[in-house]
Structure 1
Amino acid sequence: MEVVGQLQKQYVDFITSLFREAYLDDQYVQLQKLQDDSNPEFVVEVVSIFFEDSEKLLNDLASSLLVSISLFWVFILCLRPSLLLMVVLFFLLFLFQLYSQQQVVDFKKVDGYVHQFKGSSSSVGAQRVKNACVTLRNFCEEKNLDG
């Protein structure tokens, strides 16, 4: 039983650090409140769907930019949610560098994908990802290739 207690403490410490570092916001708490005995895996299921949707959205975004995402990065996202923001920002910076070289950007299409990503990240409380999407959407509205 002591091992279970240690694992529970590690989980609480990890989640607390994600809140403290603003990776998660109150929406994650709302998800936890929806979980009950009738659906004890609710949060895991919702977050898993978020990761699946994120993979698709990032692949769609990459396809619109003629770039493909390595499955390695998607795997890393699933293993370490705290790396999600770093990977997303790295990917978005890479895409904008690619865009600035091509000078042909369908900002409306990119904005649509980023809007979807913003919505799904908001629904699970992924605050930093949501904030990165807000910034990227602003760049799309400004048609800013250097952003």
Structure 2
Amino acid sequence: MLGLSVDRLRGDMNRLLALLFHQGVLDEQFLQLQQLQDESSPNFVSEVVNIYFHESEKLLRNLRALLYVLVDREFSEYKKMGIHLNQLMGSSSSIGAKRVRNVCVAFRSASDQNNRAGCIRSLELLEYEYCYLKNKLHELFQIEQQRSLAAAVRYPVLQQRPNHHT
């Protein structure tokens, strides 16, 4: 019975991963990250991804703040935006967050053209893709945690008491 639960959870994980790859949310870099995880570091992927989310939250806040104060001719603000976008593109690439990275590329293009309206649209799309990625990876890690717990559960063997009836 317990094996079925572990197999079901493994299947749920595989289906969710397949969906994320099919949708272009993740790419092969995520699989390479998973290959670095082993018994000595069973939470490696979730730890790396949590660092990514922590750092990305700061970058998104900075991008929002820059766009809020941006006037069309403030080239230095666009330059700062480009720096934040490069960081977000790099870290997104490193964990295999393909759609987030692709939106960063488009955002960077709008920023390079000093296109405030394009930057605003790109930021909205970036926040949407980022939240979708975060929710789906959170779901994936919850299933992985449940699978690990289910696999680790060991039921004690019940010992039969000797029958002392004579």
TM-score using structure 2 length: 0.64
Alignment of 1:42-53 (within 5 A): 42-53=44-55
Residues 1:60 and 2:31 are matched in the alignment? no
Mapped partners of 2:49, 2:66: distance in 1: 25
Gaps of 5+ in 2: 119-166
The Cα of 1:31 is off from its aligned counterpart by: 0.2
- Could you tell me which amino acid in structure 2 is paired with residue 45 of structure 1? E
SS at match of 1:50: helix
| Runs of 4+ off more than 6 Å | none
What is aligned with 1:143? 114
Q: Percent identity?
A: 42
Deviation at 1:55, TM superposition (A): 0.8
Output the amino acid matched with 2:30. Y
Q: 1:116 aligns with which of 83, 87, 92?
A: 87
- Measured on the aligned residues, the alpha-carbon RMSD in Å equals 1.6
Query: CA 1:144–1:65 in 2, change beyond 3 Å: closer, same or farther?
Result: closer
Q: Is 1:128 matched up with 2:99?
A: yes
Q: 1:31 aligns with which of 29, 33, 40?
A: 33
The 3-state SS of whatever aligns with 1:36 is coil
Which residue in the other structure is 1:15 paired with?
17
Aligned residues: 114
Report the secondary structure of 2:40's partner residue.
coil
The structure with more radius of gyration: 2
Note the C-alpha offset of 1:36.
Answer: 1.3
What is the CA-CA distance between 1:66 and the residue it aligns to? 3.8
1:61, distance to aligned residue in structure 2 (A): 1.6
Take 1:112 and 1:6, find their aligned partners in 2: how far apart are those partners?
44
5+ long unaligned stretches in structure 1: 68-98
